[in-house]
A = this chain, B = another copy of it.
Amino acid sequence: MENDDEEAQASSTSPPLIEPLLRRSAPNNTSQVAIVGAKLCPIESLDYEIIENDFLLKSEWDWRSQGMFEMFQYISIKWTLCFLVGLFAGLVGFFNNLAVENIAGSKFVITSNMMLARSFGKAFGVFAVSNFALTLFSSLITDFISPTAAGSGIPEVKAYLNGVDAPGIFSFRTLLVKIFGNIAAVSSSLYVGKAGPMVHTGACIAALLGQGGSKKYGLTWRWLRFLKNDKDRRDLVTCGSASGISAAFRSPVGGVLFALEEMASWWRSALLWRTFFTTAVVAIVLRALIDVCKSGKCGLFGKGGLIMFDVTSEDSAYHISDVPVVLVLGVIGGILGSFYNFVLDKVLRLYNLINKKGRAPKIVLACSISIFTSCLLFGLPWFASCRPCPAHASEACPTIGRSGNYKKYQCPPGHYNDLASLFFNTNDDAIRNLFSKNTDDEFHHFSVLLFFITSYFLGILSYGIVAPVGLFVPVIVAGASYGRYVGILLGSHTSLNHGLFAVLGSASLLGGSMRMTVSLCVILLELTNNLLLLPLIMLVLLLSKTVADTFNGNIYDIIMKRKGFPYLEAHEEPYMRQLIVSDVVRGPLLFFNGIEKVCDIVHVLQTTGHNGFPVIDEAVSNTPLLFGLVLRSHLIVLLRKKAFLHTPVATGMGAFKHFAADDFAKRGSGKSQNIEDIEITEEEMEMYIDLHPFANTSPYTVVESMSLAKALKLFRETGLRHLLVVPKTSSRSPVVGILTRHDFMPEHILGLYPNLKKSKWKRLRFRLPEILKFSKHLR
């Protein structure tokens, strides 16, 4: 009777929907697996909740409940790790660039010399074969050693920072493959970048350092014990991803902002400071190493080196009259950027089909892209007519040596091939040429257009292959040539030189594809070293992002979705306001008694995949009482340590002597123990475990009549893995269900309530997707 009243009341608070809903049309079948790199892996949620149980409160677990020395340990280890992350990320970034410059440089020096000797066929042979070999190497090590290292890694790291863990994303093998695979891929003249892989590399370094090797390093291990939890690990990985961007672009402030704007799902200002420290270390390490290289000890590294395009020029003033042209550039850049995302999504879908077919098709795909690229890079410059060297060129014409604006290619003496200056070069040099000032007449408009189209589509085609390749640089290349082309067409109406147009073009394509604002702005400023461009870059970024957002989402979000990561957005979908928690919470609910039989625990763990179980005391009072929440990982520790009781009596403090706090520490990313690995005898099966000291006695709870949107806010902001749902009345079971990340996924909810698709919101969503997306991105 009471229950009925309550039911009626609870449902009266649930708003009426336009059409009656079909309840529970499907169980939660949102993906528990995702494509990590190029490998399908099971994924797990991370847990940032403060676990409050008797055992941990009484142990030396937390540095906050400790003395001065532990506090000192905690703080010093944290800052030391940040320093080390910055140091290693800087070293790796430098090594990466050094290797690429030397490998790709040697290749271009050798082939250019053959071209000078007019052995064109031989030159092509060397060029194509070396590219092929490098690509093959890259895709082989990726596929055989660590498939999780494929791709840029930014979606994976972003998902990790949102609370989704996958095995192996931060393993040492992944790190090695990421570094060497990326060097080979970039050196092979593919249109791929190194920034994304650097971000993953930085994150790997951070995660590995936080893990601190194995148990044999006595002291280090103990000091690191305070960091063995998801939250501190997340902070470190955030620093690592920032250091990656700052190492790739030599952009310390840009790196911090990138981590803040694109990567992190939770942010605190203390973390801002730590990240800033890490990127400062990267900047200083890079600076010192470049100083070393200035003496010429780094082979072909020399002047080229890191991506850094100084376009400082005194004449970079602009006037209001330049603004209309910049507006046009921004709008079209936005359209091109969102089209880039659209096509990339389709290509990735196609590639996923190919990659699923097995090892050989993957490798063949990568090698075909390499051969195709080599043919285009070598072949297309022949379509350009040779141009006479300008009388007062700022540098040697034709170019002597490796990098320069005026590649001779097949041309007669005193002439240069403008297309070869773009195609037959590393991407970094192509960008440098496009960004350079006082070169307005260097490129024929046909050459720039051809280069733009080729680089735009080659970038898209090259991303999905099985190798550690990034997206940033190809987008910058395509954007720079697009900007330069706009400059050639419309530049006569403005006072801007074409190099600045190229910078703005890059900004527009980046803004249209990656949809960042402040971080891209700062990265571009730091890259080009020209602060006067700031207002124009801001304008272009705002415009291109706005335009692109009306069509589709951020490229990393698209890739993440395609890979199947359950990314938890900070904002709710409109229909989440219309649903209440009890509409989506799943059942039947499994729970344990305060003192539970071993065989029951083992059975439940073996037959379900749940990671948290309510502990309910029925004996203590006549109404069942929610005691707390016990985690699967803690249960496994209890079973492994065999802390069993012969009789069902509470153990009290005696329970603790079997355990050290480390036993319950969260192990490294992706590592967890299985129930199958534990051997339990028949006799032990009949014994008991007292769960009271090990259950989290104060889990966050929501009432079943709360709207899903409001529950999501609590779930997301406090970084939960399990959210208990309690009934509105006290007379039923004390818990009606558990909400997890998957219960908030739009696919799951729309699966449960297919009618929502036809309801007002869904109609809007399908009929006028642009408006809703507009609203979503503008919010």
| Partner-B contacts on A (CB < 8 A) | 2, 5-6, 9, 12-13, 15, 50, 52, 54, 57-58, 62, 64-65, 67-68, 71-72, 74-75, 78-79, 252-253, 256-257, 260-261, 267-270, 272-273, 276-277, 280, 283-284, 287-288, 291, 319-320, 517-518, 521-522, 525-526, 529-532, 534-535, 538-539, 542, 545, 570-571, 574, 577-578, 620-623, 625, 697-698, 700-703, 705-707, 709-710, 713-714, 717-718, 728-731, 734, 760, 764, 768, 771-772, 774-775, 777-779
When the two chains form their complex, are residues B6 and A621 in contact, meaning their CB atoms are under 8 A apart?
yes
Copies in the complex: 2
Closest 7 pairs (CB-CB, A-B): A698-B706, A730-B730, A717-B717, A280-B538, A2-B621, A13-B697, A15-B57
Interfacial chain B residues near A68, Cβ < 8 Å: 764, 768, 771
Residues A284 and B252 in contact in the complex (CB < 8 Å), given A13-B697, A531-B529:
no
Docked CA distance A627–B540 (Å) = 52
**13 A-B contacts, Cβ less than 8 Å apart?**
A15-B57, A50-B707, A52-B706, A52-B710, A71-B775, A253-B518, A268-B571, A269-B570, A270-B778, A272-B517, A280-B535, A526-B531, A529-B531
When the two chains form their complex, are residues B276 and A542 in contact, meaning their CB atoms are under 8 A apart?
yes
Determine how close the nearest CB of chain B comes to the CB of A562; give it in whole angstroms. 21
Residues A698 and B705 in contact in the complex (CB < 8 Å), given A276-B538, A621-B5:
yes
Determine how close the nearest CB of chain B comes to the CB of A601; give it in whole angstroms. 22
Determine how close the nearest CB of chain B comes to the CB of A523; give it in whole angstroms. 11
Determine how close the nearest CB of chain B comes to the CB of A515; give it in whole angstroms. 9
Residues A531 and B525 in contact in the complex (CB < 8 Å), given A574-B64, A703-B701:
yes
Interfacial chain B residues near A269, Cβ < 8 Å: 261, 570
When the two chains form their complex, are residues A320 and B288 in contact, meaning their CB atoms are under 8 A apart?
yes
Docked CA distance A623–B621 (Å) = 15
Residues A718 and B714 in contact in the complex (CB < 8 Å), given A50-B707, A52-B707:
yes
Docked CA distance A354–B779 (Å) = 47
Determine how close the nearest CB of chain B comes to the CB of A236; give it in whole angstroms. 14
Nearest-CB residue, chain B, relative to A79: B778
Determine how close the nearest CB of chain B comes to the CB of A728; give it in whole angstroms. 7
Docked CA distance A690–B243 (Å) = 58
Determine how close the nearest CB of chain B comes to the CB of A610; give it in whole angstroms. 22
Interfacial chain B residues near A717, Cβ < 8 Å: 717-718
Residue from B65, B253, B276, B539 within 8 A of A578 (CB atoms) = B65
When the two chains form their complex, are residues B710 and A620 in contact, meaning their CB atoms are under 8 A apart?
no
Interface centre among A74, A75, A709 (most CB of B within 10 A): A75
Interfacial chain B residues near A777, Cβ < 8 Å: 270
